[in-house]
Amino acid sequence: MILTNLKPTKDKINTFLPLGSIFVIFAFLDVLINTFLNLNITGFLPQTLSYFFPLLIGYIGLYLIRIEFSGIGFLDKLNKNINSSNFNAFLSLLILFIIIKAISPLMNWLILEANFAGSSKDDCTGNGACWVFIKVWFNRLMYGLYPDVEQWRVNSAFILLFVLVGVAFFVPPKIKKYFIIFLLFIYPFIGIKLLSGGSFGLVYVETAAWGGLSLTFIISAFAILFCFPIGVFLALGRRSSLPAIRYISIGFIELWRGVPLITVLFMAAVMFPMFLPDGTFIDKLIRVLIAITLFEAAYMAEVVRGGLQALPKGQYEAAKSLGMGYWRMNVLIILPQALKLVIPGIANTLLALVKDTPLIFVVGLMELAGMIGLAKTNPNWLGMAMEGYVFAGLVFWVICYAMSRYSQNLEKKLSTER
């Protein structure tokens, strides 16, 4: 009898709803006051009980307001989404309380007690993060050891790239073609010339000085540019009817896919010079770039192969029956369709490539993560690892999240078209 009376039902909503709401509100008030005002209003209870008190009270409250088909829109929504069973109610409370508890120290560290002004470690007096570190080193983190007066060259190379890409999006298709050809075949040389200098009155800047976030972008851009065509060729090679080409492609792809990038980088940095004639020297950055390109090309090849395999056989047969040769068939019929099928996969590979670039620091190239490693070991700035890596993580997260969002949107857009 008592149990049936305790079961929250719609006809007793006037009793249960206010009672439950009070319990829930009290639970949240307790946690909030405890966290933000440092006041424990349940301090009179034993310590463990006091600690779990809001959880208990909130749990009872959520039980009391779990009224099915109450007719109140908000309550029904709440019950359905976070309060559908005892277990769910418990987990919801736990998550909410953890978020409330975590937000205060997190905000304190990130913003409220952090130091933004100043120019040395001594200016960081608060308990929070020392963002002065990032501010002072910002230039280095972005450009590496690139000379300060020459940094406009890095900026202009990237601005030129963005302007070109932006314009290419909006111009009519007829001119677009030329823009793309310019971007793919001429711009890279202009960019390299601008960055390295040595002629046209520009001071020569050796690649060892390149670094920071700009190096991440440079490596990503070049690797993306080159790994794509190589990947397509490898994929075609793997599906070729000619056994020698097929087996060489398979061997090449599986070799790169089977080893970690770090060993490939070591190979490029340490082992590869042994294979060159005595006295010849290829810049380390270029060696590493080639290594990353080949490594990612193997992954790209597998993605493209997926697209090639997904195409129905009829497409090949139709193209052949029109009298097309191998290359015409692939370029005009097969690849456009196959590549469109695997755009999400391609985007994922490119995302992986961007995430792989920080690894180059193992062979002594200093992009963002490497520069932070350098900055935090500076005697004047010891103990700044947390700030540095949180900053780098944030930067990479923004880049990668934007890329993955873009690829997801692309996926959705393309799937509705079909």
Partner 1 sequence: MNLKKLNIENKKIRDLIPQALTVLALLSIIFYFATNAQINMGNRGISFGFGFLSQEASFDIAFSLIEFDGSYSYGRAFLVGLLNTILVSIIGIFLATILGVIVGVARLSNNYLIAKTAEWYVEIFRNIPLILQIFFWYFAALRALPSPENAINFYDVSFLTIKGWYIPKFVWINFDIFCYSLLFAFISVYFLNRYAKKQREELGKILPTFTLSLGILILIPLLSFLLLGVSLSFNYPELKQLSETSYTYEKGVSIIPELIALALALSMYTATFIAENVRAGVMGVGKGQKEAAASIGLNKNQILKLVVMPQALRIIIPPTTNQYLNLTKNSSLAAAIAYPDMVLVFAKTALMQTGRAIEIISITMLTYLSLSISISIFMNWYNKKMAIKEK
Minimum gap (Å) between residue 363 Cβ and partner 1? 11
Element (H, E) at 53: helix 47-64
For position 229 contacting partner 1 by CB under 8 A, the verdict is no
CA distance 30 to 93: 13
For position 266 contacting partner 1 by CB under 8 A, the verdict is yes
Q: Are 329 and 188 in contact (CB under 8 A)?
A: no
Cα dihedral: 199, 158, 151, 215 (round 10): -100
Q: Are 221 and 293 in contact (CB under 8 A)?
A: no
Minimum gap (Å) between residue 44 Cβ and partner 1? 28
Q: Which is nearer to partner 1, 169 or 327 (CB)?
A: 327
CA distance 321 to 308: 19
Minimum gap (Å) between residue 178 Cβ and partner 1? 32
Neighbours of 378 (CB within 10 A): 14
Find, among 327, 326, 333, 275, the residue nearest to 307 by Cα. Answer: 333
For position 386 contacting partner 1 by CB under 8 A, the verdict is yes
Main-chain dihedrals φ then ψ at residue 280, nearest 5 degrees: -75, 150
Rg (CA), the chain: 30
For position 106 contacting partner 1 by CB under 8 A, the verdict is no
Stretch of 39-47, 59-67, 76-84, 154-162 lying at the interface with partner 1 (CB under 8 A): 76-84
For position 275 contacting partner 1 by CB under 8 A, the verdict is yes
For position 401 contacting partner 1 by CB under 8 A, the verdict is yes
Find, among 417, 361, 351, the residue nearest to 389 by Cα. Answer: 361
Compute the half-sphere exposure of residue 161: CA atoms within 13 Å on the CB side of its CA.
21
Minimum gap (Å) between residue 303 Cβ and partner 1? 13
Alpha helices in 65-131 (DSSP H): 73-82, 86-107
For position 277 contacting partner 1 by CB under 8 A, the verdict is yes
For position 88 contacting partner 1 by CB under 8 A, the verdict is yes
Minimum gap (Å) between residue 417 Cβ and partner 1? 22
Residues in contact with partner 1, shown as a per-residue x/- string from 244 to 263 under the rule CB under 8 A: xx--x-----xx-xxxx-xx
For position 362 contacting partner 1 by CB under 8 A, the verdict is yes
DSSP conformational letter for 208: G
CA distance 127 to 113: 6
For position 156 contacting partner 1 by CB under 8 A, the verdict is no
Residues in contact with partner 1, shown as a per-residue x/- string from 114 to 153 under the rule CB under 8 A: ----------------------------------------
Q: Under 8 Å CB-to-CB from 155, ≥6 apart: which residues?
A: none
For position 274 contacting partner 1 by CB under 8 A, the verdict is yes
For position 355 contacting partner 1 by CB under 8 A, the verdict is yes
Residues within the interface to partner 1 (CB under 8 A): 80-82, 84, 88, 91-92, 95-96, 241-245, 248, 254-255, 257-260, 262-263, 266-267, 270-271, 274-278, 355-359, 361-362, 369, 372-373, 376, 385-386, 389-390, 392-393, 396-397, 400-401, 404
